[in-house]
Amino acid sequence: MQNKILLVGLIWIHIFIPYTAGALEDSKLSPSIEHMRSTDIITDFLSRYHYRKFSIDDELSAAMFELYIESLDPSKSYFLASDIDQFSRYILNLDDALKLNNLTPAFEIFAVYQQRVQERMQFALEQLEHDFDFSIDEDYQLRDEDVYFLATLTEQNDLWRKRVKNDVLSLRLADKPFEEIKSTLSRRYQNVLKRTLQLDNNDIFQTYINSFAGTIDPHTSYLSPRTYDNFEIRMSLSLEGIGAILKSDGDYTVIERIVSGGPADLAGQLHAKDKIVGIAQQNEDEFTDVIGWRLDEVVELIRGPKDTRVKLRILPTSKGNDVAPEDIEIVRNKIRLEEQAAKKNIITFEDSDHKAGVITIPTFYMDFNAYQSGDKNYRSTTRDVEQLLAELATQDIDSLVLDLRSNGGGSLLEATQLAGLFIDKGPVVQVRDSSGHIEVHRDKDSGISYQGPLVVLVDRFSASASEIVSSALQDYGRAVVVGETTFGKGSVQQLIDLDRLNRKQTDNQLGQLKATIAQYFRVNGESTQHRGVVPDILFESSYDRDKYGERGLDNALPWTKISAIHKPRSFISSKTVDNLLQRHIVRTEYDEKYQALLDLYAMNNDLQNQTSLSLNQTKRELAFAERDEKRKALAKIIGIETQDEDGNPELAINPEEPIVSADDDISKDILLLEAAHISLDLGMVWDAKNQRFFADAN
């Protein structure tokens, strides 16, 4: 569930309280005039200007109801089936309530949710007074979207008994004594209770109105005034702090993305999908348990002055759900432009003396302050890459790899101009707004900075501007795209200040609305939305393609197509691509290191699809030991030294078996090496004299 505030943990209570219609009357939480006014403005604005045309009707009401329930109880462990049955009267009526700015259903449902969480936290605390038998063969089922709400209190109690038992076992596996375990978990559950007292009407309204926005698309959301302030803090965390983008996932704070060139990236200890369970400052020995905390509260603990240290207790995603937490330490710092700037390397294949140049682009940047001040030497992606290409030209490279992996985007202007370094002037991307108007962004400069064999390497985190560049070069037949299918974010968002739209002035601020207002399209007319850019040569992935990127988000805009605006002559024939693919298959099939990498990917897939955890300590320890032994055996084959930002192994060539020589240890990356191989294969059909590819490849 996207764009939601997790509302967990509540007031102490001693008895089971059934649903009552008067629950809201007993609560101090109720909608305000500002909430009703915000509802009016948001529904009106989105109905008029959102890119996706929609109707506020019964179908939307049913979807909104489902999203609101999911946002409150994503694990389906608080509400009972009888609660959902009681709420069913709202399923087809939320649309009518929205039109009347009536928010009563949201607060009534939340009042019941409060009661249920109070009961669960009370039960969890009581369980800590019991002894646990970890020799019994029983499993804790990890809840998923396909599981319905439990029918009886007995079933729910059994689920929570196992949940607490799993919490205890996880800390036992970290060699914590029981008194410390009891103290840690007691504080955790008490904190969940405490935090509900800090919830206010804005939290409920934001969650509810985002259930409406989320039915339209996952990137449209409402931010209350307080949340908008925290949003700015969260964004600054990627620029000053540890350099990580965080999100809430159930009770956990999860690393969504590591910012290239930031402290976390340079330290190499924290990776995408890792869960943060504890935080300590540099002079503290005791970690603060942050399971169940709000995202903004976790961010506040992580932020701090430059050059200070923060200690994080994490659950590494690469090691599964049944491992003990690990402690890491990161020095806070600002992300320097130099760390995010494009870099070049050269891979020399010693068996052939051929050289492949590599240009890595972490993001699409421009030093706007220097540009606006008239500095002729201002830094930008295009200017830096152009200089790197000139330097590589003097080093007699045979081919070039443009590495756009984990590049989440940036300046659209820079993406357009960068594509222009490899094609002659012409259209690069189309942008269609909600009115249907199409604007074409073009490379207006004639000339090409590099005309030789070109391979673009992408992965599932290549998004937005990266997809614009890779798709343009693919459509022009200028490059062979290799790697994983990209993220698939082909939409454009705008932040709207609701106070500027508020004609009926209210006493308090209304907040901000982030709305999807346009969509990107390739020059061939196809959207990059949802499908992403599909490589010409697809590398196997450690994740299910349908579960990451836009494809894994509820209500994402669908793939669509408009008219093509440019049909360039393809420089690379389909026969050439087929030939490259066959060479790739044969080469990797007999590459022991590459096959070991695929085995590691398979292990990671198994962990991601884990549906239950054994509560038998011996079995749990044996399963981890077997997995760890297999991991180490594969690591020995590959020569793994660290992990990449996605929690997968960082791949290092065994120094006893040198395959390549490269600047800055570029040889550590097996996938990049394979991309370089493909670029050199492409070079075999390159007619350097006539600056073109041969029509056929043998």
Helix (H, G, I), strand (E, B) or coil at 335: coil
Buried b (16+ CB within 10 A) or exposed e, 81-103: eebbebbeebeeebbebbeebeb
Catalytic residue among 162, 165, 355, 489: 489
Task: Residue 449: name the closest of 693, 694, 691, 695 by CA.
Answer: 691
Tally the C-alpha atoms within 13 A of residue 553's C-alpha that lie toward its C-beta.
Answer: 21
The Cα–Cα gap between 221 and 240 comes to 25
If residue 275 lies in a helix (H) or strand (E), which one and from where to where? strand 275-281
Distances (CA, A) of 462 to 257, 487, 579: 11, 6, 26
The Cα–Cα gap between 361 and 69 comes to 41
For the beta carbon of residue 55, count every other beta carbon within 10 angstroms.
9
Buried b (16+ CB within 10 A) or exposed e, 165-191: bbbbbbbbbeebeeeebeebbeebbeb
Look up 475 and say whether it is catalytic.
Answer: yes
If residue 263 lies in a helix (H) or strand (E), which one and from where to where? helix 263-267
Residue type for position 283: N
DSSP class per residue in 180-207:
HHHHHHHHHHHHHHHHHTT--HHHHHHH
Look up 162 and say whether it is catalytic.
Answer: no
Radius of gyration, alpha carbons of the chain: 27
For the beta carbon of residue 53, count every other beta carbon within 10 angstroms.
8
Catalytic residue among 406, 464, 470, 541: 464
Cβ proximity of 674 and 366 under 8 Å: no
For the beta carbon of residue 282, count every other beta carbon within 10 angstroms.
12
The Cα–Cα gap between 625 and 520 comes to 48
Specify the residue for token string 């009581």: 126
Helix (H, G, I), strand (E, B) or coil at 212: helix
Token output for 639: 């020569």
Spell out the residues 6+ positions from residue 25 whose beta carbon is closer than 8 angstroms to its own: none
Task: Residue 159: name the closest of 122, 120, 131 by CA.
Answer: 120
Task: Residue 34: name the closest of 513, 495, 514, 504 by CA.
Answer: 504
Helix (H, G, I), strand (E, B) or coil at 592: helix
Specify the residue for token string 């002729």: 376
Catalytic residue among 322, 475, 644, 669: 475
The Cα–Cα gap between 128 and 393 comes to 67
If residue 232 lies in a helix (H) or strand (E), which one and from where to where? helix 225-237
Specify the residue for token string 């492949």: 356
DSSP class per residue in 435-477:
TS-EEEEEE---S-S--S-EEEEE-TT--THHHHHHHHHHHTT
Helix axes 574-589, 592-608, angle to 10 degrees: 90
Look up 186 and say whether it is catalytic.
Answer: no
**Residue 292 backbone class (left: φ over 0; alpha: ψ -120 to 50; beta: rest):** left
The Cα–Cα gap between 658 and 638 comes to 12
Phi and psi of 252, rounded to 5°? -105, 150
> Which positions are annotated as active-site residues?
464, 475, 489
